[in-house]
Amino acid sequence: MAVILIIDDEGTVAGRMARTLERGGHLAVVAPDVRSAIRGAALKPEAILLDLGLSNTPADALLRSLRQRPELLHTPVLATTERMDEAVSLRRASRSGFSLVLHKPVSDASLCLAIWAAVSGANGGTWPEGLEGIPEDDRHAFLRSLIEEGPEWLALEAYRRIRLGKVSLIASPNGAEPLGWSEILGWVRLLGLVEGV
């Protein structure tokens, strides 16, 4: 279980993300404003979801403030935004301190996969069987492309593959086994999401 801080002033959106993460076994802490974000940061979250469209403060200023806390210096921060142009420009740029950039509305599968990737990578976690033979930079590129640009159904298959062997939280409508990593990688290549993997 990981503590995930959700900084978003849209109550419905933040609540949905929190419920999704809690179903995945995480503790989700919702912070609708700067004051509650600072209080939530005291819990030393393993990942932070930061809405770029906060109405009460610029997200980049809040990110700088959070990064000044030594315990959060290396905590993955995932940006969420409703604006596709903003998401695309951040992805093309240096990401401005964000591990991932998620376009809202974020699907449950993409959110769970993004948090798994952020927490697993931040904690030096092991990669799922079938991905360990791929160079680490390529694995990150593969997951980033799948989460940020891939179709919902493929993100769901990847998350189901990761959860296989654990408590099954996301069942297939027809009860079928999830795709294997080689099949998921094949789809990623076919869809042109990433080269060289």
Ordered structural domains, the chain, with CATH? 1-125 (3.40.50.2300), 127-197 (no CATH)
Q: What is the model's pLDDT at position 163?
A: 67
Arithmetic mean of pLDDT, 132-152 = 72
Q: What percent of the chain has pLDDT over 90?
A: 20
Q: What is the model's pLDDT at position 194?
A: 64
Instruction: Lowest mean pLDDT of 37-41, 108-112, 122-126, 191-195, name the range.
Output: 122-126
Arithmetic mean of pLDDT, 162-172 = 52
Question: What residues does 48 pair with on adjacent strands?
Answer: 5, 77
Q: Rounded CA gap, 57 and 142, in Å?
A: 33
Strand order in the sheet with 77-81: 27-31, 3-7, 47-51, 77-81, 100-103
Q: What is the model's pLDDT at position 84?
A: 62
Strands 27-31 and 47-51: unpaired
Dmax over CA atoms of the chain, in Å, equals 48
Q: State both tokens at 105.
A: 């509305």
Task: State the pLDDT confidence band at 36, using cuts at 50, 70 and 90.
Answer: very high
More confident residue, 49 or 163: 49
Neighbours of 38 (CB within 10 A): 14
Q: What is the DSSP letter of 75?
A: -
pLDDT digits (tens, 9 = 90+) for 4-14: 999 999 999 99
More confident residue, 134 or 152: 152
More confident residue, 185 or 7: 7
The whole model's pTM is what? Answer: 0.77
Beta strands in the chain (DSSP E): 3-7, 27-31, 47-51, 77-81, 100-103
User: How many residues can be counted in the chain?
Assistant: 197
Of 71, 180, 161, 75, which is closest to residue 112 (Cα–Cα)?
Answer: 161
Q: Rounded CA gap, 98 and 50, in Å?
A: 9
Task: State the pLDDT confidence band at 30, using cuts at 50, 70 and 90.
Answer: very high
Per-residue burial over 101-120, b = 16 or more CB atoms within 10 Å of its CB, e = otherwise: bbbbebbbbbbbbbbbbbbb
HSE, CB side, 13 Å, CA atoms: give it for residue 41.
Answer: 25
